[in-house]
Copies of this chain bind each other. A is one copy, B any other.
Amino acid sequence: SDAVARYALGLGDDALVLAQRLGEWVTNAPELEEDVALSNIALDLLGHARSLLTYAGSAWGQSEDDLAYFRDEPQFVNRQLFEQPNGDFAQTIARQLIASAYFIGLYRALSASPDPMLSGIAAKALKEVDYHLDHSAQWLLRLGQGTAESHRRMQRGLDTMWVFSDELFSDDSLPTGQDAAALAGIAVTPSSLREGFDALVPRLITEAGLTVPSAPYARGGGRLGVHTEYLGPLLAEMQVLARVHPGASW
């Protein structure tokens, strides 16, 4: 149904935009092993994005590429966390920590969805994001407890990204009326994931000797097409070639 497709589109955009950001690290990572690790994570996320966008597009007769390459910024419905710039390695790890912990809760819940496509995608993704969290948590420890500089950078990274964590649990985009009925039980209610996140992430941060940030949260609205100014240039780069050759096949 259209409501399910729109739900899948949001999840797909989250994964796509984050994969695109991680792709920027390739050839620029602090060591070769991280070139491999970050592109591994990016590849997993890109896989999730492709499954989700393909599923969403099937309701509208559109391909994953139609959706990825031929929508403008206000039509992208990813949460704002995912479009935030890489910054330094600590900032990327902070974003990845929040994202992975969120994905674990999401895909765990979604793998019980009665929608077989969504539950299938989620079950497969769950194993992967589990590894992603492990990767971030390891680095959180190393950077939090490594040197004075790495501690400072890691805290700054957390401070920068934390403000975008609240949006992940916002029900702002849940449909109403008939659409709500169509989605009930199939989709995961974002706010239901907060408890699991709160039980996990602050503990990891504290264990790394870092402080859970307390700055006010960003307003969000990504699911409604409202974005920070970092998304536009990301899309410009991602879409440029496809748009120069509309209708071409690659």
Helix, strand, loop or mixed for chain A's interface? helix
- Complex: A236 Cα to B240 Cα, angstroms: 6
Count A-side interface residues using an 8 Å CB cutoff: 10
Whether A247 sits at the interface, judged by CB under 8 Å, is no
- Complex: A239 Cα to B244 Cα, angstroms: 10
Kindly list chain B residues whose C-beta atoms are within 8 Å of the C-beta of A195. Answer: none
Whether A31 sits at the interface, judged by CB under 8 Å, is no
Kindly list chain B residues whose C-beta atoms are within 8 Å of the C-beta of A244. Answer: 72, 243
Whether A33 sits at the interface, judged by CB under 8 Å, is no
Shortest Cβ distance from residue A242 to the other chain B in the assembled complex, whole angstroms: 11
Kindly list chain B residues whose C-beta atoms are within 8 Å of the C-beta of A240. Answer: 235-236, 239-240, 243
Shortest Cβ distance from residue A25 to the other chain B in the assembled complex, whole angstroms: 15
Kindly list chain B residues whose C-beta atoms are within 8 Å of the C-beta of A236. Answer: 236-237, 240-241
For chain A, residues 221 to 250, give those with C-beta under 8 angstroms from any C-beta of chain B.
Answer: 233, 235-237, 239-241, 243-244
Kindly list chain B residues whose C-beta atoms are within 8 Å of the C-beta of A241. Answer: 236
- Complex: A223 Cα to B128 Cα, angstroms: 47
Shortest Cβ distance from residue A74 to the other chain B in the assembled complex, whole angstroms: 13
Kindly list chain B residues whose C-beta atoms are within 8 Å of the C-beta of A239. Answer: 240
Contacting residue for A243 out of B72, B235, B237, B243, CB 8 A: B243
- Name, among A236, A243, A244, the residue most crowded by chain B CB atoms within 10 Å (CB to CB): A236
What 1/0 mask marks residues of chain A from 88 to 121 whose CB sits below 8 Å from any chain B CB? Answer: 0000000000000000000000000000000000
- Complex: A235 Cα to B240 Cα, angstroms: 9
**Closest residue of chain B to A72, judged by CB?**
B244
Interface residues of A (CB under 8 A from B): 72, 233, 235-237, 239-241, 243-244
A-B contact pairs, 13 of them (CB 8 A): A72-B244, A233-B237, A235-B240, A236-B236, A236-B237, A236-B240, A236-B241, A237-B237, A239-B240, A240-B240, A240-B243, A243-B243, A243-B244
